[in-house]
């Protein structure tokens, strides 16, 4: 079940889409104008926005731009509903950060399928914070692609270095003991000592220069990723 904001000014479509969404167990609010939509989004939180682009008061693209520019709303998925033959709206909308679109007239079944996919994807990210990209200054850690870049250039980390960096960066400010970190790198079979970690950290720091200071030494404990 999800909370969905349906932004649509045509009463027939409001009714039809709302009926189908509620039948799937979702909670639906309807906003008939862009202004109502923005007011509603600031009043309550939603899991998904279904956004008609042709609204009486303002362009749906404008609503999309405002939502994406608001840090509190920026991550809420948006599916645009566009008029047939308005490909330029689709291009603009996706460029503004909308996640997907359907073209009117759409089949209800297709719309429901798109919504389902989008909600499932959002949940997957929410329940797997391990898969979220971490970006600090010029350092980007992408666990999905298993890639670290330093000022845009790929850093050649070993698997162990990657795991160390990711484990710490995912919990900035938290001090990890050397044995904690050994667990994290899952090197159970290898004969390692806690000093092995120091060597890995030294190599890791060298590879992420000039951001090496983000990996801080916590005296008597181990290491942590700088917080803020």
- Read off the tokens for 36: 């109502």
Closer residue to Ca ion in complex, CB, 14/160: 14
Asked if 13 interacts with Ca ion (CB under 5 A), we say: no
Rounded distance between C-alpha atoms, residue 183 and residue 160, angstroms: 11
CB of 47 within 8 A of CB of 2? yes
Asked if 59 interacts with Ca ion (CB under 5 A), we say: no
Residue 48's SS3 state is: strand
Closer residue to Ca ion in complex, CB, 34/143: 34
Asked if 54 interacts with Ca ion (CB under 5 A), we say: yes
Return the CA Rg of the chain: 23
Minimum gap (Å) between residue 93 Cβ and Ca ion: 14
CB of 31 within 8 A of CB of 55? no
Rounded distance between C-alpha atoms, residue 152 and residue 146, angstroms: 15
Residue nearest Ca ion (C-beta atom): 54
Strand partners, 223: 176, 217
- Read off the tokens for 64: 């999309």
Minimum gap (Å) between residue 35 Cβ and Ca ion: 14
Asked if 52 interacts with Ca ion (CB under 5 A), we say: yes
Selected range binding Ca ion among 2-10, 70-78, 103-111, 118-126, rule: CB under 5 A? 2-10
Asked if 90 interacts with Ca ion (CB under 5 A), we say: no
For Ca ion, the binding residue among 9, 62, 100, 216 (CB under 5 A) is 9
> What are the residues binding Ca ion (CB under 5 A)?
9, 52, 54
């Amino acid at each position: 079940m999800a909370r969905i904001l349906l932004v649509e000014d045509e009463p027939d479509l409001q009714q039809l889409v709302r009926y189908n969404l509620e039948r799937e167990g979702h909670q639906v609010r309807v906003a008939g104008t862009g202004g109502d939509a923005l007011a509603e989004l600031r009043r309550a939180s939603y899991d998904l926005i279904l956004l008609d682009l042709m609204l009486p008061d303002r362009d749906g693209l404008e609503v999309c731009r405002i939502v994406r520019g608001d840090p509190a709303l920026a991550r809420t998925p948006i599916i645009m509903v566009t008029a047939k033959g308005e490909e330029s709206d689709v291009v603009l909308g996706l460029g503004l950060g909308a996640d997907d679109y359907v073209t009117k007239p759409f089949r209800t079944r297709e719309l429901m399928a798109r919504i389902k996919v989008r909600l499932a994807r959002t949940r997957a990210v929410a329940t797997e914070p391990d898969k979220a990209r971490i970006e600090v200054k010029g350092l980007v850690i992408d666990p999905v692609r298993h890639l670290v870049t330093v000022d845009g250039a790929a850093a050649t980390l070993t698997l162990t270095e990657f795991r160390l960096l990711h484990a710490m960066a995912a919990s900035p400010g938290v001090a990890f003991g050397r044995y904690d970190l050994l667990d994290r790198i899952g090197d159970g079979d290898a004969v390692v000592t806690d000093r092995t970690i120091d060597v890995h950290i030294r190599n890791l720091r060298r590879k992420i220069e000039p951001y090496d200071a983000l990996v801080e030494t916590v005296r008597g404990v181990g290491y942590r990723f700088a917080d803020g």
